[in-house]
A and B are shown apart, each in its own frame.
Chain A
Amino acid sequence: MSVIIILLFASISVAALFLAAFIWSVKSGQYDDQMSPPMRMLLDDTTAKSSHT
Chain B
Amino acid sequence: MQLEKFYYDNKTVKMFAYATMLWGIVGMLVGLLAAVQIYLPSANFGLPITTFGRIRPLHTNAVIFAFVGNGIFMGVYYSLQRLCKARMFNDSLSKIHFWGWQSIIVAAAVTLLAGYTTGKEYAELEWPVDIAITLIWVVFGINMFGTILKRRESHLYVAIWFFIATWVTVAMLHIVNSFEIPFSFLKSYSWYAGVQDALVQWWYGHNAVAFFLTTPYLGIMYYFLPKAANRPVYSYRLSIIHFWALIFIYIWAGPHHLLYTALPDWAQSLGVVFSIMLIAPSWGGMLNGLFTLRGAWDKVREDPILKFMVVAITCYGMATLEGPLLSLKSVNAISHFTDWTIAHVHVGALGWNGFLTFGILYWLIPKMFNTPLYSKRLATNHFWIGTIGIILYALPMYWAGFEQAMMWKQFTEDGTLKFQFLETVTHIIPLYVVRSIGGLLYLIGALVMIYNLIKTIKAGSFVANELVEAAPLPAKAETHGKQYWHRWIEARPIQMLVLSLVAVAIGGILELIPTFLIKSNIPTIASVKPYTPLELQGRDIYIREGCYTCHSQMVRPFRDEVARYGEYSKAGEFVYDHPFQWGSKRTGPDLARIGGKYPNSWHYNHMLEPQSMSPGSIMPSYPWLLDDPIDTAITPAKIRAMQTLGVPYPVGYDKIANKDLMQQAQKIAKSLATEKIETDSDKEIIALIAYLQRVGTDIKMMPQTASVNK
Contacts and interface: CB of A to CB of B under 8 A. Distances in A.
18 contacts: A6-B513, A7-B176, A7-B200, A10-B176, A10-B505, A10-B509, A11-B203, A11-B251, A21-B497, A25-B156, A28-B493, A38-B233, A41-B226, A42-B226, A42-B231, A46-B8, A51-B463, A52-B464
A51 B520 contact: no
Interface string B250-272: 01101000000001100100000
Interface of B: 7-8, 82-83, 85, 153, 155-158, 161, 164-165, 168-169, 172, 176, 192, 195-196, 199-200, 203, 223, 226-227, 230-233, 236-237, 240, 244, 247-248, 251-252, 254, 263-264, 267, 461-470, 493, 497, 500-501, 504-505, 508-509, 512-513, 515-516, 519-520, 571
Given A33-B155, A38-B236, A41-B83, A15 B251 contact: yes
A44 B176 contact: no
Contacts of B168: 14, 17
Contact of B466 (A11, A14, A37, A46): A46
Interface of B is mostly: helix
Given A3-B192, A22-B244, A41-B157, A14 B85 contact: no
Nearest to B503: A13
Given A14-B251, A15-B248, A17-B168, A42 B227 contact: yes
Contact of B501 (A14, A25, A37, A46): A14
Contacts of A21: 164, 493, 497
Given A6-B513, A14-B505, 12 more contacts: A5-B516, A9-B512, A10-B176, A10-B505, A13-B505, A13-B508, A14-B169, A15-B251, A25-B156, A41-B157, A42-B227, A47-B468
Interface in A1-53: 1-7, 9-11, 13-15, 17-22, 24-25, 28, 30-31, 33-35, 37-42, 44-53
B219 to A, nearest CB: 12
A37 to B, nearest CB: 5
Given A9-B508, A45-B85, A50 B200 contact: no
Nearest to A45: B468
B156 A1 contact: no
Contacts of A25: 156, 161
Contacts of A41: 82-83, 157, 223, 226-227, 232
A1 B233 CA distance: 44
B247 A18 contact: yes
B530 to A, nearest CB: 20
A2 B153 CA distance: 45
Contact of A20 (B82, B251, B497): B497
A38 B470 contact: no
Contacts of B465: 50-51, 53
Nearest to A9: B508
